[in-house]
Amino acid sequence: MSVMTRINRLREGMSGLGLGAFLISQPESRRYLSGFTGHDHPPMDSAGYLLITETKLLLLTDGRTTEQAENEAPDHEVIQILEKLPVTLSEILSSLKPSRVAFEGNHLSFRLHEEVRGALRNNSVLVPTYDVVDAMRAVKEPEELEAIEAAAMLADKAFTHLLGIITPGMTEREAAWEMEAFMRKHGSEGLAFDTIIASGPNSSKPHHTPGDRPLQSGEPIIVDWGARVNGYCSDITRTIVLGEADKKFKTLYRVVLEAQTRAEERIRAGILGSKADGLARKVIEAVGFGAQFAHGLGHGVGLAIHESPRLGKKSEDVLEDGMVFSVEPGVYLPGWGGIRIEDLVTLQGGRVSVLSRAPKQIESMEV
Amino acid sequence: MSVMTRINRLREGMSGLGLGAFLISQPESRRYLSGFTGHDHPPMDSAGYLLITETKLLLLTDGRTTEQAENEAPDHEVIQILEKLPVTLSEILSSLKPSRVAFEGNHLSFRLHEEVRGALRNNSVLVPTYDVVDAMRAVKEPEELEAIEAAAMLADKAFTHLLGIITPGMTEREAAWEMEAFMRKHGSEGLAFDTIIASGPNSSKPHHTPGDRPLQSGEPIIVDWGARVNGYCSDITRTIVLGEADKKFKTLYRVVLEAQTRAEERIRAGILGSKADGLARKVIEAVGFGAQFAHGLGHGVGLAIHESPRLGKKSEDVLEDGMVFSVEPGVYLPGWGGIRIEDLVTLQGGRVSVLSRAPKQIESMEV
């Protein structure tokens, strides 16, 4: 689907909400609505902002990225910010004078909001929005799904590569690098996120950073990784054991796998993210480990590694056909370790279709 | 210098400004003031927040990172955010009732600011701050300087590696990967930023993303890269030519190198960032390319790749001994290409000391 089709859908939404202009600062939304891939360190360093009105499509950027912006965003008029964003913005809006200018409340910094408000004086009201572009991005177009499938397939191949070389004594960092180098050499643009290899007691930390700890036989090893293709991410987790797993591990592994299987079989289009979360959580709570599953069941994946919808205890997001999200129950016991199994899935025809194919059955968990 | 020494300095500053509490959400400032290295995707996904008062040191985090936080930030009391940050924050502050609670205006999102303000009701006023922690971080302690020197040395070695293998026909992406793989294998924690290799006409885009374009003889190739050691970044740029450079290139190269040399020789502690910028800019303006030097002369480098001080046309930052920043004049001619030469430097004894050693003289520019 072209950028213009997305813009037209957004404009319809803006019209319905009485929004005369929309300032987009979130990098992935900016790319989604323009094609511009500029790199930045938001919220302080931004490579550019979109300003979308009924009649204008502007990409405001600084001198370092104007040429790139012109090449990548041919539908937009590229305007170089010579002073600061608020000044440029007020100059542009001084003739249009839209009564309501929308911005992304999750993304604009306190400072920029204050400065833009000051620059617009009382000509326009700034209106925070929270899920306008995010909701559009949550439901994937066929081309987006293709890119995510390619990213999932590349991640699967990296896991096969890891299984061929992983061995006791290799450090977490070395194993993570093997995964990364494989994906990067085979077409991943950077990574979806920093690969996690968490071994033994480290595996009870869901967001562990791989370090110099050597992998040991018999302990849980959580591998959480993803590739990026055409800007789109994949996100998968497996937990493995080198050699033989003990009884405690096997028992817990079965619980987590059962929780995931239950959710993947029973999630339907139309249910809330909280209900999806509950399908898996119930299985883990039933064996007394509810408190040890200290995160949500999943999150949307697309241009951003974390996006809409959310699958968690309190999520009111409605799951819809075309959405892509993770299903990743886990159990973490500080001192002992953890187990997490994460699939990347999409809702198609009302049901879950699993995109990640890396083996996860109890028989394949011992490496 | 220990985290507690930094905290005590911050507390003195807070006391002077009448701030009863300080909420820190910027990831590098959080690490600087706690040791906690949690990964996040700010401003929407944060791994944690510091709340610093006269008597308390709190690290608020979610269930996925509490164990990591406890290990890494032993000076802090780790509190798990069970609901949302604003709720936890208001519970904590309900007994303390500080009249003024500071936050980082550049970093807190509009939404979080609104929610925190709502949760605190009228018990406390939220006060935006802009350079309190940033100013502390700008002047490096000896241990920080050591890490930056190590990151600069690793970057220099990666350039030597590149010079040994770079050849016409290699793509930008392949060359960037060679640099990255070298640094990662030799101890770089991730990268300071995505390596830029911009060849031929691509080199007129200061923030070009390496693509499938094969490198050709005789054209400018900008290489901009940095390593990360103990969290600290390096940042260096060289422009090279495979084979022989033509007259135009050599003339422009001499101008850019002269601009850089002039700045490095004449910058002194005590001058403004704008004056430092002017030292180099004058040289480029004198030959009529002022408009083609469309960015500032440099930026601070530390835990973040872009931090205080700024060296640019309008910067009012005062350069001080112990600061570390880039000196990177450039000239960009769309259609033809560009030249940028960037050193990483520190101010010591009032003068510039250059940390990056990769060759840059006109004789070594042809590879």
Per-residue pLDDT of chain A in tens (367 residues, 90 and over written 9): 689 999 999 999 999 999 999 999 999 999 999 999 998 887 778 899 999 999 999 999 988 899 999 999 999 999 999 888 999 999 998 888 899 999 999 999 999 999 999 998 878 999 999 989 999 999 999 999 999 999 999 999 999 999 999 999 999 999 999 999 999 999 999 899 999 999 999 999 998 999 999 999 999 999 999 999 999 999 999 999 999 999 999 999 999 999 999 999 999 999 999 999 999 999 999 999 999 999 999 999 999 999 999 999 999 999 999 999 999 999 999 999 999 999 999 999 999 999 999 999 998 899 9
Check A110 against B108: CB less than 8 A apart. Answer: yes
Domain at A85, CATH number: 3.40.350.10
pLDDT tens, residue by residue, A185-243: 999 998 999 999 999 999 999 989 999 999 999 999 999 999 999 999 999 999 999 99
Which residues of B are less than 8 Å from A206 in CB distance?
A: 63-65
- Nearest Cβ partner of B111 from A105, A111, A205? A105
Q: Single out the residue in B99, B115, B137 at which a domain terminates.
A: B137
Check B207 against A68: CB less than 8 A apart. Answer: yes
- pLDDT at position B179 is 97
Do both A197 and A125 map to the same domain?
no
Task: Please answer whether residues A307 and A28 qualify as being in contact, where contact means their C-beta atoms are separated by less than 8 angstroms.
Answer: yes
Check B64 against A295: CB less than 8 A apart. Answer: yes
Residue of B nearest to A39 (CA): B207
Termini Cα distance of chain A? 43
Q: Single out the residue in B102, B137, B172 at which a domain terminates.
A: B137
What is the mean predicted confidence (pLDDT) over B309-323?
97
> Which residues are within 8 A (CB) of B348 and not within 5 positions of it... i.e. 6 or more apart?
B321, B322
Do both B316 and B251 map to the same domain?
yes
Do both A196 and A259 map to the same domain?
yes
Do both B197 and B110 map to the same domain?
no
pLDDT tens, residue by residue, A321-347: 999 999 999 999 999 999 999 999 999
To the nearest whole Å, the CA of B111 is away from the closest chain A CA by 5
Do both A324 and A228 map to the same domain?
yes
pTM of the predicted model as reported, rounded to 2 decimal places: 0.93
SS3 content of chain A, % helix, strand, coil (to 5): 40, 25, 35
Q: Which of A37-46, A118-127, B181-190, B197-206 has the lowest mean pLDDT?
A: A37-46
Check A110 against B105: CB less than 8 A apart. Answer: yes
Q: Which two tokens stand for residue A352?
A: 């879950």
To the nearest whole Å, the CA of A38 is away from the closest chain B CA by 8
Do both B119 and B159 map to the same domain?
no
Closest C-alpha to A320, from A366, A367, A281, A269: A269
- Nearest Cβ partner of B128 from A111, A181, A304? A111
Q: Single out the residue in B86, B103, B137 at which a domain terminates.
A: B137
Residue of A nearest to B192 (CA): A41
Q: How many domains does chain B have?
A: 2
- pLDDT at position B45 is 83
- pLDDT at position A1 is 62
Do both B233 and B102 map to the same domain?
no
Would you tell me how many other CB atoms lie within 10 Å of the CB of residue A14? 21
- In the predicted model, is pLDDT for residue B354 greater than 90? yes
- In the predicted model, is pLDDT for residue B122 greater than 80? no
The ipTM estimated for the assembled molecules is: 0.92
Domain at A215, CATH number: 3.90.230.10
Q: Which domain holds residue A281?
A: 139-364
Do both A154 and A302 map to the same domain?
yes
Do both A282 and A358 map to the same domain?
yes
Burial label, B2 (beta-carbon count in 10 A; 0-12, 13-18, 19+): exposed
Q: Which two tokens stand for residue A156?
A: 């699967």
